[in-house]
Structure 1
Amino acid sequence: MPKNKTVIVTGASSGIVTGASSGIGGAVARRMAQAGANVVVFARRAERLEALCAEIDPAGTRTLAVAGDVNVAIDRERLVRVAVERFGRIDALVNNAGYGQRGPIERIPLEALRANFETNVFSLVALTQLVAPVMRTQARLGKDGTGKDGGRIINIGSVAGRITRPMSAAYDSTKFALEGITDGLRGELKPFGIGVVLVRPGFIRTEFGQVADAVSNRVLSGDGAGPYAPYVGDFQTKRVKLRRMAGVPDDIARLVEKALTARRPRAHYNGPAHAKLFLFLKWLLPVRAMDWALRMKRHVK
């Protein structure tokens, strides 16, 4: 990360990254550590976190691995508490943990839909509620009486938060919700010197897709899809084609870097290139045209 800009750029600064055991979260943690910041990595897989810390901080002085479930209140509280105890402050929160439930809305059990919102929306809000007061106390008062440089909260959204696909509305709707929450938070926290940014990845090669496939298999295979079964093959075929243009985790880590180091960060960062193209088409084309482009087609074997 560029030095001497703002927020997490010195050894006195620290940040939390959720969902850091692989993919985007791991890439973000690496970039933060390279900048000299203290990094607290959080996820359920303790061994992955320990390996990451050993990789990016062999001396073990600037990283902290905290294993836990972002959906569990006690784990969230412990995460914030130990981060402050270890490093004294929290300058950045990167909300990256995610869950991907897909399938026809009619066929997805409500408990699965709730689980999707629990991870992607409610737990994110709950963790932000714990971190915001910490950042507020860190902010320096400007001449106008408002805060400055209290910290930055980066929410990892998705292009899916602007473009909903058939068979993916359960997941995509959580990212739509995150768009609204992030935009509202940005205005609410700005007077206290806390910046809030939304990063929208497109298709990225990570383990997330494999995990989402496993989670969604129940309603995308066999009798699970019911009357939608003839369309599942087309959905899967489209996903395979789209994954061919997928970027790598560091593509998004670079956007997080910009969001954390820019003096005046944008409200939204989009990437890689195909994500920008899809969002432009969403803005340009009428709804009927997008519906036609995203329509379900019967799969012919």
Structure 2
Amino acid sequence: MTPNLTNKVVLITGASAGIGRATAVALAQAGANVVLIARRQKRLAALVEELAAYPGQRLAMAGDVGDEAFVQTAVAEIIATFGRLDVLINNAGLGHRSRLADMPAADMHRLWDTNVMGLLYFTQATIPQMKEQGSGHIINISSIISQRPLPHMSLYCASKTAVNFISRALRMELRSYHIRVTTVYPGRTQSEFGDALLGEKGANPTRLARVSADRVAQAIVKAIHTGKTEVYITGTDWLFAHFNRLFPRTTDWLVERIAARRDT
């Protein structure tokens, strides 16, 4: 059953494609007032038009989450428009696929600014409002490979591991203010992510199964209702994470074999 989010104000970054877009649709279907943040203005406009079929208000703003000035302006506009912010979904992210030795410094900064600094900027900007209203929910989108780094994706994995630790620390810092923090760990997802990678483009050549962006979106919306602290999309993802903790050397061997297929 879809949770009822009528009158809830939900901000989602990276809303124009993939998991972000699917989550925006799911939120609108649940009756939420949805604030859409992404870099691509035309895609945002098309999404706002699509979401007009569902109840609730929409506010779309195009900008870079790694731009602190934009983030401050965006959050101020959200508060001025709605008077509150119930849920922040930090979804915006970039990936890369290349050997670390071959990764340009400019790509390193761009990835880190989006995946980590953008999350920090939006989180810092929204916490005061959530404290003032006495409630809130921050949902950070990590990745299953934050649990175990993969060759050729070292900095992406590191950025998502940073998301994990930020989330865990925030959960303790904000509990007394009735602000919940959830970390979501998607695995391989059917989206445009592979086409937007820094470095080598295209889908990962491994044969691991992919889930739909809609399935991830439903898990995110459900987490708003349940307040669950950590969300795995599939049983396989959960098993991978816990197997890695119990048997790290065996997991190393498995990951190396998967990576070896890529280089052959």
Task: Tell me whether the two structures share a fold, i.e. TM-score over 0.5.
Answer: yes
Structure 1 residue runs of 5 or longer lacking an equivalent are 4-8, 140-149, 221-235
1:63 to 58, 66, 84: 58
Residues 1:298 and 1:57: Cα distance change in structure 2 (over 3 Å): closer
What CA distance in whole angstroms lies between the structure 2 residues aligned with 1:128 and 1:86? Answer: 19
Contact 2:187/2:210 (8 A) holds in 1: yes
Matching of residue 181 in structure 1 with residue 166 in structure 2: yes
What CA distance in whole angstroms lies between the structure 1 residues aligned with 2:263 and 2:125? Answer: 51
1:92-116 per-position Cα deviation (integer Å, ceiling 9, x unaligned): 0000000112221222233322222
- SS of aligned partner of 2:207: helix
Matching of residue 31 in structure 1 with residue 26 in structure 2: yes
Q: Which structure 2 residues correspond to residues 73-92 of structure 1 after superposition, within 5 A? A: 73-92=68-87
1:240-272 per-position Cα deviation (integer Å, ceiling 9, x unaligned): 2335x100111111111121111xx22210113
Contact 1:21/1:52 (8 A) holds in 2: yes
What CA distance in whole angstroms lies between the structure 2 residues aligned with 1:26 and 1:298? Answer: 32
Residues 1:115 and 1:299: Cα distance change in structure 2 (over 3 Å): closer
- TM-aligned CA deviation for residue 157 of structure 1: 0.3
Match in the other structure for 2:233: 271
Match in the other structure for 2:156: 171
What CA distance in whole angstroms lies between the structure 2 residues aligned with 1:209 and 1:240? Answer: 10
Match in the other structure for 2:41: 46
What CA distance in whole angstroms lies between the structure 2 residues aligned with 1:15 and 1:27? Answer: 14
- TM-aligned CA deviation for residue 299 of structure 1: 7.1
Residues 1:294 and 1:59: Cα distance change in structure 2 (over 3 Å): closer
Structure 2 residue runs of 5 or longer lacking an equivalent are none
Match in the other structure for 2:15: 20
Corresponding letter in the other structure for 1:114: H
TM-score after normalising by structure 2 = 0.92
Match in the other structure for 2:223: 259
- SS of aligned partner of 2:185: strand
Contact 2:9/2:84 (8 A) holds in 1: yes
1:79-101 per-position Cα deviation (integer Å, ceiling 9, x unaligned): 11111122111000000000112
What CA distance in whole angstroms lies between the structure 2 residues aligned with 1:84 and 1:21? Answer: 22
Contact 2:170/2:181 (8 A) holds in 1: yes
Residues 1:114 and 1:85: Cα distance change in structure 2 (over 3 Å): same
What CA distance in whole angstroms lies between the structure 2 residues aligned with 1:162 and 1:113? Answer: 20
Corresponding letter in the other structure for 2:6: T
Moved more, 53-62 or 63-72: 53-62
Match in the other structure for 1:132: 127
Corresponding letter in the other structure for 2:234: P
**Aligned length in residues:** 261
Residues 1:109 and 1:10: Cα distance change in structure 2 (over 3 Å): same
1:292 to 246, 253, 264: 253
Corresponding letter in the other structure for 2:162: A
Q: Which structure 2 residues correspond to residues 111-126 of structure 1 after superposition, within 5 A? A: 111-126=106-121
Moved more, 71-80 or 40-49: 71-80
Matching of residue 93 in structure 1 with residue 88 in structure 2: yes
- TM-aligned CA deviation for residue 152 of structure 1: 0.4
1:240 to 197, 205, 210: 205
What CA distance in whole angstroms lies between the structure 1 residues aligned with 2:81 and 2:50? Answer: 19
- TM-aligned CA deviation for residue 121 of structure 1: 0.7
Corresponding letter in the other structure for 2:110: A
- TM-aligned CA deviation for residue 27 of structure 1: 1.2
TM-score after normalising by structure 1 = 0.81
Corresponding letter in the other structure for 2:164: E
